[in-house]
Structures are given as C-alpha cells and as structure tokens.
Amino acid sequence: MERARYEVERMQRQYNRVEPENRLGARELETQWNTALHMLHALEQEYAREQARALAPLSAADRTLIEQVVTDLPRVWHATKTTPADRKRMLRCLIRGVSLDSFSVQGTPGCISAGRPAV
C-alpha cells in the first residue's frame, strides 16, 4: 500500500506540472493518476478484508485442531515432516521473551541463566 500511495502522489505531481496547453499529455497523466488511485483503493479494500478475516474468532474445528497439536507437541516436534523453520516458529509461539544480563551468575563469569518470562 505504501508503494501504491507513492505512485498516486507521483502521478499527481506529474499531472500538476503539465502545461495546460498540452491537453493530450494532461489527459494521459490524468488517466495514469486515476489508474493509480483505483489500484490504491483496491489494495486498501483487500487489506481491510484481510484484517477483518484475521481478527475473526476461531471456529470449533480450528480450536479442536489447535488443542490436539498443543497436547501432542512432542510428536509434532519430532515428526520427520517438521522442518527446522517449523520448529523455530513453534519456539517463537512458546517463548514470550529472553533477557540476558551482563553480570555473572553464581560466581561464574559469562554464565547465562534463563529466567521466567514476564507475565
């Protein structure tokens, strides 16, 4: 959408710079400007639809599927079809935050300890 907005502004600047006597050029620039405006409007509508769909509540089937995956996480983790990228995504969902402190833990310099995530 950012790129489409930029194109609309660029087309508007070009249209505003054309000499009024150059009607053919002005007509073409106006057509391009209108096309860019229509494309931006279509993108904004599509974005609004996707936002509304993403915020829709889960269906009963989706909720059941998620509950099954959560209760059987070790099997999903060790499945041969689970890629390292999938494992990373699962970890990102499970870990709320990580913080590293520069002080030593239990007298061992450079030792890092994992704390509980802030709730």
Name the pTM for this structure.
0.45
Is there a single domain that holds both residue 67 and residue 48?
A: no
Tens digit of pLDDT for each residue in 89-118? 888 887 877 666 665 555 565 555 555 544
- Give the residue among 78, 74, 117, 76 at the shortest CA–CA distance from 98: 117
CA dihedral over 7, 13, 15, 19, signed as positive or negative: negative
Last residue within a domain, chosen from 16, 35, 54: 54
Question: What is the pLDDT confidence band of residue 119, given thresholds at 50, 70 and 90?
Answer: very low
DSSP collapsed to 3 states, 41-110 = HHHHHHHHHHHHHHCCCCCHHHHHHHHHHHHCHHHHHHCCCCCHHHHHHHHHHHCCCCCCCCCCECCECC
Is there a single domain that holds both residue 83 and residue 45?
A: no
Is there a single domain that holds both residue 41 and residue 69?
A: no
How many domains is the chain built from?
A: 2
Tens digit of pLDDT for each residue in 34-84? 999 999 999 999 999 888 887 778 788 888 888 887 788 888 889 999 999
87 Cβ contact list (under 8 Å, min separation 6): 77
Domain, as residue range, for 115 = 63-119
